[in-house]
């Protein structure tokens, strides 16, 4: 799985090691961190691209993120695509959650799903929320889900 920084620099370490190093560096620099993980997707013709982000927020001092892009030729309904986005976020959150516990870093999983029933993505809200909360993670949906709806949205080509 290839990850990069927002400036395009590749992350050559396994993602867990890169996240561990980032947390340790930020804590040593005196920052209180919060991490938000989210995924967004975009369909272009027959291709669907997913962008998953790990957003590190330095309390009162901005933040930075790690990004992973992935393309597939699979065709999804809107509900399926929303749930695949959530599954990709949960996969990363689960792989990293012991680090967040060890370093006492709050973590949220953000779903790019609208809480307004007038939007098509809302069909997946109940299942996504149950999936995330059932895994023991804090959950945010639109409009509070900035990791998926703003950060990942900017880096999905």
pLDDT (tens digit, 9 = 90+) per residue, 33-54? 999 999 999 999 999 999 999 9
pTM over 0.85: yes
pLDDT at 156: 80
User: In the chain, how many domains are there?
Assistant: 1
- Domain hosting residue 50, numbered range: 3-155
Question: Which segments of 1-128 are extended strands (E)?
Answer: 3-5, 10-11, 33-44, 47-58, 63-72, 106-114
pLDDT (tens digit per residue) in 98-143: 999 999 999 999 998 888 888 888 888 999 999 999 999 999 998 8
The pLDDT, as a whole number, for residue 143 is 86
Residues paired with residue 40 on neighbouring β-strands, in sequence order:
51
Both structure tokens of 154: 């900017």
Among 84, 94, 8, smallest CA distance to 50 is for 84
Q: How far is it, in rounded angstroms, from Cα 104 to Cα 132?
A: 20
């Amino acid at each position: 799985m290839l990850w990069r920084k927002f400036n395009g620099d590749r992350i050559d370490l396994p993602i867990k090691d890169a996240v561990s190093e980032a947390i340790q560096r930020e804590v040593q620099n005196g920052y209180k961190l919060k991490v938000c993980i989210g995924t967004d997707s975009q369909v272009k013709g027959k291709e669907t691209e997913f962008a998953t982000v790990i957003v590190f927020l330095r309390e009162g001092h901005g933040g930075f993120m790690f990004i992973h892009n992935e393309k597939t030729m699979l065709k999804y309904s809107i509900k399926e695509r929303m749930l695949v986005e959530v599954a990709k976020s949960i996969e990363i959150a689960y792989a990293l959650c012991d680090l967040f516990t060890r370093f006492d870093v709050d973590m949220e999983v953000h779903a790019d799903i609208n809480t307004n029933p007038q939007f098509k993505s809302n069909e997946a809200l109940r299942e996504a929320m149950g999936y995330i909360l059932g895994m023991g993670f804090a959950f945010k949906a639109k409009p509070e889900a900035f990791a998926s709806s703003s950060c990942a949205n900017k880096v999905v080509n």
